[in-house]
Amino acid sequence: MKNAQDLAPPTTRCEPQPLSIAQASSLIAERVQGLLHGLAPQAMDMALDKAFGRTLASDIISPIQVPAYTNSAMDGFAFRMPEKPQAIENPCRFVIVGESLAGKPFEGNIRFDECIKIMTGAVMPKDVDTVAPFESVQLEPGKMKGSKPTIGDGVQIDCAGFNAGDNRRLAGEDIAKGSCILRKGHRLHSASMGLVASLGFSQVQVQSALRVALFSTGDELQRPGETLKSGMIFDSNRYTLIGLLQGLGCDVIDLGIVPDNPQALKQTLIKATELAHVILTSGGVSDGDADFTKALMQELGEVFFWKIAMRPGRPLAFGSLSKRLFFGLPGNPVAVMVTFLSLVRPALLQLMGREEDAGPLRATSLALCEQPIKKKKGRTEFQRGMTRRNSKGELCVSLSGHQGSGILSSMVQGDCLIVLEHDREDVSAQEWVTIWPLAGLI
Ligand code: AMP
Ligand code: MG
């Protein structure tokens, strides 16, 4: 396994150079893989109607074929296509001998010169293979237009206008019995819940939720709901992180606010390892006098890296403690979101086995940047952006509000993050930039 130092560019200082996001991502992925055995969630049975947002712990194999029986795709008349329809007199005459309705199949036999009335979804009897929709069929001459044909009436069907099998849905054409419908690691959403139900399952095997212990650090923090004292601020990071974690289906263990006090921090870190698979903190990981989190982690466990070439979000301590994963996020509220989305979220998805969602972020797009942006080469920079379509229909993006790393309002006003890659320099107006749409992520 590589150390941060092996991945980082050579340095003459005793501290390693910051890792690029790509280096940090691969190091995290490697460490998560190493800890997977002890941290991967357990399987449990759950009622399907309670399983929205849960991750499947086993593949879903279809015990039936879908459709379960061959049925009609239209309302009309089901008949057997003559072998050479062109060679016979057209239209052909068929006598109606019965009907097949949804839930009430036709039980009798049907001869080659007979047909049945059939409704969409109703069982196609074995003797027929094709459905002529009502509007294509002529009633027998003498029948009043508009009157309904009934059993014993004759109808005329232009057989040359159809191919055998038209308007018929074959048993098993959607899903074959025994086929794998959803893979382990799939996160159940509304469509997949319906799909699982359509196979007859009322229970599914899902992963127990990943437990993530969370606390904020800082002597200046107060709980929302209290009266703000002078020099203090409300703790917002915990709420942002609770939302981000719950959005991923994690079980959040909220350990509140911990002061910048090594003893209190130590106790809380140890408690967190007993309660959770992953420990997430915010604040206290820079080089200030009150930044104890990283040093304590180094004393109690291991810290693999703590500096990333990104902005916002440069200090981010990643390590392990008693075989638990530890992410010490920066204190600045926007830096918390950016580091979570770019580095913590993929690690949590990896732990949950959510392969289909993994990768740094699935949904990236390109947009035309509507204004110049200053960018320093050698670090990844994130800006909050707002998208729109221009008159040509192209996706455009502009900066949303103030970009300071403590300013959460621009994260709420914006609808995306603009990602300026590691090697990129200043961006001119009308250059294409990568964006991460925030909808569905935050
Ligand atoms: P730190 O990394 O602890 O030096 O914090 C950096 C900045 O983020 C400081 O201005 C802190 O007051 C602020 N900050 C730290 N934790 C939080 C929090 N939980 N909620 C809101 N702001 C915070
Ligand atoms: Mg602090």
CB neighbour list of residue 160: distance below 8 Å, 6 or more residues apart: 85, 86, 90
Mean pLDDT value across the chain = 91
Q: How far does residue 334's CA lie from ligand 1's centre (Å)? A: 10
Beta-bridge partner residues of 111 = none
pLDDT value of residue 155: 93
Band of pLDDT at residue 15, cut at 50, 70 and 90: low
Torsion of Cα atoms, 220 then 225 then 230 then 235, to 10°:
20
Torsion of Cα atoms, 165 then 167 then 168 then 174, to 10°:
110
CA distance 319 to 242: 21
**Over the stretch 288-305, which tens digit does the pLDDT of each residue have?**
888 899 899 999 999 998
Which of 222, 237, 327 has most ligand 1 atoms within 8 Å of CB, for mutation? 237
Pick the residue whose CA is nearest to atom 14 on ligand 1.
331
Beta-bridge partner residues of 19 = 308
Q: How far does residue 377's CA lie from ligand 1's centre (Å)? A: 27
**Over the stretch 16-57, which tens digit does the pLDDT of each residue have?**
789 999 999 999 999 999 988 888 889 999 999 999 999 999
Choose among 135, 173, 140: nearest CA to 156: 140
Smallest-distance ligand from the CA of 339: 1
DSSP H or E stretch at residue 333? helix 333-339
Please give the number of the atom of ligand 1 that sits closest to the Cα of 332: 8
Question: How many residues are there in the chain?
Answer: 442
Choose among 423, 411, 409: nearest CA to 381: 423
Please give the number of the atom of ligand 1 that sits closest to the Cα of 291: 3
Please give the number of the atom of ligand 1 that sits closest to the Cα of 236: 20
pLDDT value of residue 1: 42
pLDDT value of residue 38: 85
Q: How far does residue 300's CA lie from ligand 1's centre (Å)? A: 23
**Over the stretch 173-194, which tens digit does the pLDDT of each residue have?**
999 999 999 999 999 999 999 9
Smallest-distance ligand from the CA of 405: 1
CA distance 350 to 330: 22
Q: How far does residue 294's CA lie from ligand 2's centre (Å)? A: 12
Q: How far does residue 236's CA lie from ligand 1's centre (Å)? A: 9
Q: How far does residue 288's CA lie from ligand 2's centre (Å)? A: 8
Q: How far does residue 331's CA lie from ligand 1's centre (Å)? A: 4
Which of 217, 233, 236, 306 has most ligand 1 atoms within 8 Å of CB, for mutation? 233
Band of pLDDT at residue 362, cut at 50, 70 and 90: low
Burial-class residue 304 by CB neighbours within 10 Å (0-12, 13-18, 19+). Answer: buried
Least confident of 46-50, 142-146, 236-240: 142-146
CB neighbour list of residue 387: distance below 8 Å, 6 or more residues apart: 367, 395, 396, 397, 415, 416, 435, 437
- Give how far the C-alpha of residue 360 lies from the chain's centroid of Cα atoms, to the nearest Å: 13
pLDDT value of residue 358: 62
Pick the residue whose CA is nearest to atom 11 on ligand 1.
331
Which of 228, 234, 258, 282 has most ligand 1 atoms within 8 Å of CB, for mutation? 282
Q: How far does residue 282's CA lie from ligand 1's centre (Å)? A: 7
Q: How many helices (H) and strands (E) does the chain have?
A: 9, 26
Ligand 1 contacts (CB < 6 A) are 216, 218, 220-221, 233, 235-238, 282-284, 286, 288, 330-333, 406
CA atoms within 13 A on the CB side of 151: 6
pLDDT(142) > 70 = no
CB 338 within 8 A of CB 312: yes
pLDDT value of residue 6: 46
**Over the stretch 68-119, which tens digit does the pLDDT of each residue have?**
999 999 999 999 999 887 777 889 999 999 999 989 999 999 999 999 999 9
Pick the residue whose CA is nearest to atom 17 on ligand 1.
331
Smallest-distance ligand from the CA of 257: 1
Band of pLDDT at residue 145, cut at 50, 70 and 90: low
CA distance 244 to 214: 12
pLDDT value of residue 363: 74
Indicate the pTM of the whole model: 0.85
Q: How far does residue 282's CA lie from ligand 2's centre (Å)? A: 8
Choose among 177, 188, 210: nearest CA to 67: 177
**Over the stretch 296-338, which tens digit does the pLDDT of each residue have?**
999 999 999 889 999 998 899 999 999 999 999 999 999 999 9
What are the residues whose beta carbon lies below 5 Å from ligand 2 (ion)?
Answer: 218, 283-284, 331
| Domains assigned to the chain | 4-41+209-358 (3.40.980.10), 44-66+174-207 (3.90.105.10), 71-169 (2.170.190.11), 365-437 (2.40.340.10)
